[in-house]
Amino acid sequence: MAKRKILGTVGVNILVWILSIILITPLILILINSLKTSEAAAYMNLSLPQSIEFSNFLTVIKKGKLDTAFVNSLIYSVFSVLLCTLTSSMAAFVLSRNRSRANKIIYFVIVLGITMPINFIALMKVMQFLQIVNTRIGIILLYSSTQTPFNVFLIYSFLGKIPREIDEAAVVDGCSPLRLYFSIILPLLKPVLITVMVLTFLNTWNEYVLPLYYLGNTDYWPMTEAVYNFFGMYFKYWNLICADIVLTSLPVIIVYLLGQKYIVSGMTAGAVKG
């Protein structure tokens, strides 16, 4: 029995290693070719570069306007994270603590947004009416609204683990609703809020379709659009394209590595009771 268990564990580890190698190979391929000359990178293989060309990254930043695109992506991601986390947690708190029939319907409608596709024509009409097409505030609101349903669902489930007695004790002590939320509930939501913040940042940084439709001014384009634009101009120079992809992916990888330990715990914390 013990031997069979050991063999099973070894088999699972081997399978995990194989899958990890398969998944990480494209990343290694891009990183290696980003350090090659244009002639060597044309073959797109895993051979190590004869000379490391760090100048590729400087060329990409200068010719691809990545400095502007990076600032845009940072603005969109940071403000989307702040706005979406605050509004989603407040909505989830109200809907979770006051489970009236009307609130259950509202919660169902919000969560339904996870599966419903975006109607780009209707959304364009709404944004034109509000005069926020091709604006930074408009794209931030879009990013926040599209990710709110999943975030509300996640926080709502987590709140089911927090005893209502905490709320009642705070109210008895004279705590107002806003103070109850910010002083009592919000600190208890730290694991799931970090999960929401990391996922919102990653999704916002990687979003490609929404800026393409609703940001006509290239000065407002984020990193994802900058990569697309750069590829159109320098599609023959794979070393520069790979360097562009590396610079675009680097912030996402850093944020994920910093917040990865919270993601699983935050997503599974409300799985038992909700």
Q: Quick: pLDDT tens for 187-234.
A: 999 888 988 999 999 999 999 999 989 998 888 999 988 888 887 777
The SS3 of residue 205 is helix
Stated pTM of the model: 0.84
Q: Which of 85, 114, 80, 74 is nearest to 266 (CA)?
A: 85
**What is the distance between the terminal CA atoms of the chain, rounded to a whole angstrom?**
38
pLDDT at residue 265 tops 80: no
Instruction: Give how far the C-alpha of residue 109 lies from the chain's centroid of Cα atoms, to the nearest Å.
Output: 23
Domains in the chain, CATH or no CATH each: 64-268 (1.10.3720.10)
Residue type, 7: L
Burial class (CB in 10 A: 0-12, 13-18, 19+), 168: exposed
- pLDDT of res. 268: 57
**H-helix segments, the chain:** 2-33, 38-41, 55-63, 66-97, 101-112, 120-130, 136-159, 164-172, 177-179, 186-188, 190-206, 209-214, 223-233, 238-268
Instruction: Give how far the C-alpha of residue 108 lies from the chain's centroid of Cα atoms, to the nearest Å.
Output: 23
- pLDDT of res. 78: 95
- pLDDT of res. 229: 81
pLDDT at residue 92 tops 80: yes
18 or 228, greater pLDDT: 18
Model confidence pLDDT, tens digit, residues 153-182: 999 988 988 888 888 888 888 888 888 899
pLDDT at residue 135 tops 90: yes
Total residue count of the chain as it appears in this document: 274
- pLDDT of res. 274: 41
Q: What is the largest CA-CA distance in the chain?
A: 73
DSSP 98: -
C-alpha distances in angstroms, 255 versus 250, 251, 265? 9, 6, 16
Q: Residue 272 — very low, low, confident or very high, per pLDDT cuts 50/70/90?
A: very low
Q: Residue 267 — very low, low, confident or very high, per pLDDT cuts 50/70/90?
A: low
